[in-house]
Amino acid sequence: MNHLYPIFLKVHELNVLLIGGGNVGTEKLSFLLKSSPEAQVTVVAKEFNADFMELATGKDSVTLIEDAYHEKYLGGKHIVIAATDVKKVNLQIRNDAKERFILVNVADTPELCDFYLGGIVTKGNLKIAISTNGKSPTTAKRLRQLLEEVLPEEIDDLLENLHAYRDTLKGDFEYKVKAMNELTEGLVGKK
Q: Mind listing the pLDDT tens digit for each residue in 71-128?
A: 999 999 999 999 999 999 999 999 999 999 999 999 989 899 999 888 899 999 999 9
Task: List, for residues 27-82, the tens digit of each pLDDT value.
Answer: 999 999 999 999 999 999 999 999 999 999 999 999 999 999 999 999 999 999 99
Q: Is residue 190's pLDDT more than 80? A: no
Give the per-residue pLDDT at 191: 53
DSSP per-residue letters across the chain = ----------TTSS-EEEE--SHHHHHHHHHHHHH-TT--EEEEES---HHHHHHHTT-TTEEEEES---GGGGTT-SEEEE--S-HHHHHHHHHHHHHTT-EEEETT-GGG-SS---EEEEETTEEEEE--TTS-HHHHHHHHHHHHHHS-TTHHHHHHHHHHHHHH--S-HHHHHHHHHHHHGGGGT--
Q: What is the pLDDT, as a whole number, of residue 60?
A: 96
What is the tens place of the pLDDT at every residue in 123-138? 999 999 998 887 888 8
